[in-house]
Structure 1
Amino acid sequence: MEERALPREDDLLERTPLLSLDLPPSYSHQDGSYPRHQDVKGRDDSPPREPWNNNGVPVFITFCIFMVEVCERIAYYAIVSNLVLYCTRDLDYTSTEAVIISLVFSGSGCFLSPLGGYLADSCAGRYRTIVGGCLLLACGMALLPVAAFPYVELFGEEYDLGQETERGVFLIGLFLVAVGQGGIKPNVGPFAAQQTTEMTMETERSFFNWFFWMLNLGAGFSLAVIAWIQQDASFWIGFLIPVITSGITLLTLLICRCAGRIKAEEPRGSAVSTVTLILRDAVKNRLRHGSHRHVDQGILDYAKEEFGGRWCETRVEEVRTLGRLVPIFLLQIMYRVVFFQMQTSYFLQGERMDLRLFSSDEEDPENEPWSMPVAALNLFYVVPVMVLVPTMDKIVYPFLDRKGIHLTMLKRIGIGMFLGIVSICVAAFVEIARKRVMEEDGGSFQQVVAGEAFESSTLSIFWQVPQFTLIGLAEVFAMTAGIQFAYTEAPRDLRGLLQGCFSLTVGLGGYMGSVVAEVVNVATDAGGDDWFPEELNDGFVERYFFLLAAMLAVNLAAFISVARGYTYVATPTNGQLIRKLYVIEEEDDMMLAATPNGSTRSRRNSNSSGF
């Protein structure tokens, strides 16, 4: 199709309302701002800037939307930080069962994210999907204190719910929370971005860095406050706090919407349906026509109009990009398996280390008042994130840009994977040292954690700090780059789908971790040398850690191979990620109004290497 000249600036702004990311670099000033609109007399006719507006980003409204993710993180970590302990102590699950419940719960919220993105795109819209997710999250969290409430202690034996009832109520609550997460996770980031008008390429990286920073703000609150309350005071009080924060966040969203401060677009149809139709037509036409007509023709080309299909070239090429992105996503799953060890195997390891902050009476260790909650070690994951995200965003990345060193998104993901390998190896060496100390005279003692006794090593739990810190460093690179990659490399109409797919890889990491744990448990139990037994002191968890490190190392080698051949849609130029020019075709715009097969743009080929 013949390419037409680019329309005038205001037409481009109208056609690209989401972040103005599709504008070519030539339409921005040197300072990163976009031209102001003028009327026929030369007067500034642009809409007045909103208060608290920074480079086109309405800070207050964006902050309110980010608080939804903060609330979701508070609820998530209020559950998973001590989930293994609560399941083994109060619900009488085995350690292996508790680990699997934790991993399945962690994976389910992410696994349901594509469904949340589909509902937002096809029928509900992002705002209503987020509000619905918040309601389900609040309802699910409200069931957890119901299950954990000490009925017997306060009202007597006749009010005992029974273990099966407690388990049922608790698992239903976990299910509702997971479904609520599925509606929130894929939509909060794009919905916050939807509120912006003039965010430039330079601020795009900052946008996702600070989104990740806010996400960890909620995690830090849960780990520093709620985890301590659960272990030293009561689980039901700890579960009740996220119910209150969920209600406050939901109320804030509703007030902002009623005040007209939030822009909520109507759903425009699901990209999943379009992708499915293109794939179906391509396969159908391929079977109909038989062999390829042209040497370079692929199976997707059969969906194009020029090869007898009913879809324009741009739509088909956008679907083809999914084939380039899917391997990158799949190769991040193994990294997530290692990441989830923080709340499972690292937690079990920490229960059997010395939690005491100060020396105490050796004859009465159970009454030690100053002890570290096991889950609080996750703070050493959160703190590096809170410190390094602004440091990298404001100091390190700009410095590297000025020096001509460009840490591309895939390089940052690869660095994160390498740090994950180092973390799991450190955990293995700590486990070896922990058990060696226990073999020495006076190297072990009975330690009570939230009412449950453990035979623990006198090795301080602070030896776990490096493995948690390394995971935090890994997330600064891998998570922020992964979110940005899923957004910037996706075709505009497929961004919601790709955000959901990225969350799906996180969820698959939780499921894969549970499968690996169960397989290792069964295989090694048959041989008599349990790697992951009910009591870690009787097993060889260090071998399990080394196995995960080896699996992630192989995965990293495969990732580097795929990344080297990847071609970016966005290329690093002059310290910014500059998106390739999009050619606006007015005739296709008219077709788009009548049929879903049209497209508003086409992409020029990019020659940038991925890794």
Structure 2
Amino acid sequence: MPRQIPFIIANEACERFSFYGMRNILTPFLVSSLLLYAPEAERAGIAKEVFHTFVIGVYFFPILGGYIADRILGKYRTIMYFSLLYCIGQGLLALFVDNRIGFYTGLFLIALGSGGIKPLVASFMGDQFDQSNKNLARIAFDAFYWIINFGSLFASLLMPIALKSHSPELAFGIPGILMFIATVFFWMGRKRYVHVAPAPADPHSFLNVARTALFTPGASNLGTYIAYVGFALAIAALALTPVLHFVPAVCLAIVAVIAFGGYGTSLQLDRARTKHPDEAVEGVRAVLRLLIVFALITPFWSLFDQKASTWVLQADLMVKPEWFQSAQMQALNPALVMILIPLNNLLLYPLLRKFGFELTAIRKMGFGIAFSGLAWIVAGLIQLEIDGGTPMSVTWQVLPYALLTFAEVLVSATGLEFAYSQAPSSMKGVIMAFWYLSVTIGNLWVLLANASVKNPTVLGHVKDTGLSEAAFLMFFFAGFALVAAAIFGLYAKRYKSVDNYRAV
């Protein structure tokens, strides 16, 4: 194992404590403190909007960080600079717990800093391996994901107590201190790292190849017209900013450009061979196929990230000890991850291989999406009991948490290494950014679904079902994930994995 890996792992442990420490108390803090200006009945809804808008930012800015690292500064310097912004943002949260402008500025800087480094730490760790020891990379990625949850576990247990028993300043200040320590750990390994230099301007880059494919005339220009439709839809989405608000409108615009532009490019990709080598063209084809995988995973993120918003609000309605805070249920998720990762690798996967079933990375992700849907069916059944007036102990949430965590291990832990291994060498940072962009899109679906049920017509249809708004949305998201899992399974049968670890 490369001797520099412990510095990266230690950095990740502290950074994840910092991030989840503030994230897991964000919703209850907003409801109980920062949003007191709003009518009580509206605070939970506003808190969910703020939370998921923040998460969208966290997983949108990886595009910026990935580009800067791949083309300008390299991964190490980009991580360091964005980490400093991250530290400043955490500091602002602690300083402005009673000032919305200052607090939201801190959230923005955290989204920028955390998002900027998010695609890079994992891919930077991947850079420390080559073909001679790539078998150890899978172990390192599992350790990487395990340590993420180690930090998240203690943050989920301790920060809600700090918020209730002490003060918001302390509850947000501790994560800030941990982020500073994380930055120091990463800096300490600077002389031991393998540094992959930023790629120079490439005439055969992804965008150049795609541009050639779209705008080289041919017998049929259907792909070009489809790309134009994507740009037109993007403009339409931006025009809806007053209705959708800025963040959802921008995200929808990005989805339109990527989806229609990518499909249009795939239809005419062979035209690019007139100006670009076959290797570059096939690299673009591999990326486009990978983006389809990422798109089909977005429903999973819709369900997964609501455990810190929707499920916390559900726990508020359940019976629990006086000392127990609803947000502390989230500690169950990282605790189970820390158990399931070694259990799966040492017991479940070898047992399945023994019976002739090889659970490949892409198969794991497909099953994971399906298990997330099952988790939300259980959550919806719990909500039905609550709505019917049955006192429900918060321990009932253990079952949906267990199912969702098993899904997370299959999708998220597997996806990190999968995304790195499938990415062409010149696009590691950007491809990892697209992986995280799938989280942004997942949270976008949450915002749009929550906004839609405020429409009187939609609300009328919800009432006709006899379900509460909360229960309806839970079953809706469960169905969303199960349909995505079925489509993912069909696509996975055609997907051919590649190996893009560096040679030396």
TM-score (norm. length: structure 1): 0.69
Please give the per-residue CA displacement for 1:406-459, whole angstroms capped at 9, x wherever unaligned: 101121011111111111011111112223345xxxxxxxxxxxxxxxxxxx42
1:450 is matched with: none
Deviation at 1:281, TM superposition (A): 2.0
Distance, in Å, in 1 between the alignment partners of 2:186 and 2:107 is: 24
Residue 101 (structure 1) aligns with: 50
Further displaced range: 76-85 or 127-136: 76-85
Task: Label 1:144 to 1:530 Cα distance change in 2 as closer, same or farther (>3 A).
Answer: farther
Closer/same/farther in 2, CA of residues 565 and 291 from structure 1, 3 Å limit: closer
Kindly indicate which of the two structures has a greater share of residues assigned to strand: 1
Cα offsets for 1:482-540 (capped at 9, x unmatched): 11221122222222221111011012111221111111233467529679xxxxxx944
Which stretch of the first structure deviates more once superposed, 219-228 or 72-81?
72-81
Counterpart in the other structure of 1:301 = 270
Aligned to 1:30: none
Partner of 1:381: 333
- Determine if the alignment matches structure 1 residue 68 to structure 2 residue 8: no
Query: After superposition, where does 1:508-587 map in structure 2 within 5 Å?
Result: 508-523=441-456, 526-527=459-460, 539-569=468-498
Distance 1:71 1:288, change over 3 A: farther
Distance 1:116 1:546 in 2: 36
Q: Kindly tell me: are residues 502 and 407 of structure 1, through their superposed partners in 2, closer, same or farther at Cα, counting changes over 3 Å? A: same
Using the TM superposition, give the Cα deviation of residue 201 of structure 1 relative to its aligned residue in structure 2, in angstroms: 4.8
Alignment check: 8 A CA contact 2:7 2:188 kept: no
Answering whether residue 280 of structure 2 is matched by residue 280 of structure 1, we say no
Q: Does 1:145 align with 2:94?
A: yes
1:221 to 151, 154, 158: 154
Alpha-carbon separation, structure 2, partners of 1:289 and 1:548 = 39
**Counterpart check, 1:432 vs 2:384:** yes
Say whether 1:340 aligns with 2:273. no
DSSP-derived class of the 1:521 partner? coil
- Distance between the aligned counterparts of 1:190 and 1:74, measured in 2? 20
> Kindly tell me: are residues 223 and 290 of structure 1, through their superposed partners in 2, closer, same or farther at Cα, counting changes over 3 Å?
closer
* C-alpha deviation, 1:192, in angstroms: 1.4
Match of 2:366 in 1: 414
Partner of residue 124 from structure 1, selected from 69, 73, 81: 73
d(CA) in 1 for partners of 2:21, 2:472: 30
**Paired positions, count:** 454
Equivalent in the alignment of 1:29: none
How far apart are 1:562 and its partner, in Å? Answer: 1.5
Deviations 1:176-216 (A, max 9, x none): 00000122110001111222356545434323222211111
Letter in 2 for 1:355: K
Going from structure 1 to structure 2, the CA distance change for 1:414 and 1:265 (only over 3 Å counts) comes to closer
Sequence identity percentage: 27
State which structure, 1 or 2, has the greater radius of gyration over its C-alpha atoms. Answer: 1
Partner Cα distance (1:540, 1:81) in 2: 24
For residue 264 of structure 1, the aligned residue among 167, 192, 195 is 195
What one-letter code is carried by the residue in structure 2 that aligns with 1:544? L
Q: Tell me the CA shift for residue 63 of structure 1.
A: 2.0
Return the alpha-carbon distance in structure 1 between the equivalents of residues 208 and 430 of structure 2.
15
Structure 2 equivalent of residue 170 of structure 1: 103
Runs (5+) with no aligned partner, structure 2: 224-265
Aligned to 1:89: 32
* Deviation readout 1:154-179 (Å, 9 max, x if unpaired): xxxxxxxxx6xx11111100000000
Residue 365 of structure 1 aligns with which residue? none
What's the RMSD between the two structures over aligned residues?
Answer: 2.8
- C-alpha separation in 1, matches of 2:197 and 2:433: 19
2:118 match: secondary structure: helix
In the alignment, structure 1 residue 320 sits paired with structure 2 residue 285: yes
Cα deviation for residue 541 of structure 1 reads 1.4
Structure 1 residue 261, shift from structure 2 partner: 2.1
CA distance in 2, matches of 1:273, 1:230: 52
Say whether the 8 Å CA contact 1:206–1:393 is kept in structure 2: no
Letter in 1 for 2:481: L
The whole-number CA distance in structure 1 between the counterparts of 2:51 and 2:132 is: 38
Question: Matches of 1:185 and 1:239 in 2, distance apart?
Answer: 21
TM-score (norm 2): 0.83
Equivalent residue letter for 1:464: Q
* Residue in structure 2 matching 1:490, options 411, 423, 443: 423
Offset at residue 137 of structure 1 (A): 0.9
> Distance in 2 between the 1:272 and 1:116 partners?
22
Unaligned runs of 5+ residues in structure 1 are 1-53, 149-162, 357-367, 439-457, 532-537, 571-578, 585-599, 601-611
Q: Tell me by how many angstroms 1:323 deviates.
A: 2.1
Describe the shift of the 1:355–1:312 C-alpha distance in structure 2 as closer, same or farther (beyond 3 A). Answer: same
Q: What is the distance in 1 between the residues matched to 2:316 and 2:383?
A: 12
Change (3 A) 1:231 1:138: same
Residues in 2 aligned to 1:342 and 1:516: alpha-carbon distance in whole angstroms: 16
Q: Which has the higher helix share?
A: 2
1-structure distance, mates of 2:202, 2:344: 34
Q: Which residue of 2 aligns with 1:471?
A: 404
Cα distance between partner residues in 1 of 2:109 and 2:456: 33
Query: d(CA) in 2 for partners of 1:198 and 1:282?
Result: 33
Mapping of residues 204-215 of structure 1, within 5 Å: 204-215=137-148
Q: For the Cα contact (< 8 Å) 1:278–1:316, is it kept in 2?
A: yes
| Aligned mates of 1:69, 1:515 — CA distance in 2 | 32
Instruction: Say whether the 8 Å CA contact 1:272–1:497 is kept in structure 2.
Output: no
| Aligned mates of 1:399, 1:136 — CA distance in 2 | 46
